[in-house]
Structure 1
Amino acid sequence: MARSLEAAGISTIVLTPTPEFQREVGMPRVAAIEFPYGRPLGQVDDIRGQHQVLAETLTCLEKADRPGRIFHLNFTWPEAPKEAKWHPPEISPIIKLHLEEIKKAAAQTRK
C-alpha cells in the first residue's frame, strides 16, 4: 500500500516494531516502536495513548527530509514483556476459517 501511495506522489510512513525488516524491503520512511506485534498504536481502549503514538508518527513524517529515514519513537509498553498479551484470547474468524490450509502450508515449509 505504501509503495502505491508513494508512486502517486503521496508521502508515507510505516509504524512498525520491526524497523530492520522495513529497511530491507525498502520502505521510504519508518517510525519504529517497541510495542508487541499487532499493537503498534498501543493498548486496546487507550485512546489517549494511541493518539500520542499517531501524533508522534505524523510528526516524524513531517521531519523526514530524505527517503530511508528511520525514527525511533520514545514510547514504553506499560507491561513487562513476559506479561504482555501478544495474542488475542481467540483466533480471528479469518484464521479460524483457513486454519487447516495454514497448518498444511506450515508443514510443507518445514519439509
Structure 2
Amino acid sequence: MTPTVNEQKSIEAAVFRRLIEHLSVRTDVQNIDLMGHAGFCRNCLSDWYAEAANAMGVTMDKDTAREAIYGMPYDTYKAAYQTPATPEQLALMDESVAKNKAMREGR
C-alpha cells in the first residue's frame, strides 16, 4: 500500500523524531565522527531544521534550532559531551566535507 501524502509526511516526521531521540541517547557519538562518516552532524540537522522553519514562515534562529536538535542549549551539550577532535577525525571530516561539496557541484 502506498501512503497518502499526509501519511508520508507523518511517517517522515516520526522517523525524524526517532533520529533525534537516538542521537540524544548516543552522546558518545561525536559530531565530528558523524560528519566524517555520514557527511552531516547534529549542527547540520539544526541548520536544516531552521532553514525549513524559516521557509515555512516560522522565524527560527540558530540557537533555537540547535536546542530543538540537542535537547538542551548547545553550549550545555558541548560542555557535557563534546571531546577534543583528533587529527584523524579532522582529516576524515575534511574528506567528507569535500565529498559534500563535490556532490553539491554535481561531480
TM-score by length of 2: 0.26
Is the strand fraction higher in 1 or 2? 1
Higher relative contact order at CA 8 Å, sep ≥6: structure 1 or structure 2? Answer: 2
Rg larger in 1 or in 2?
1
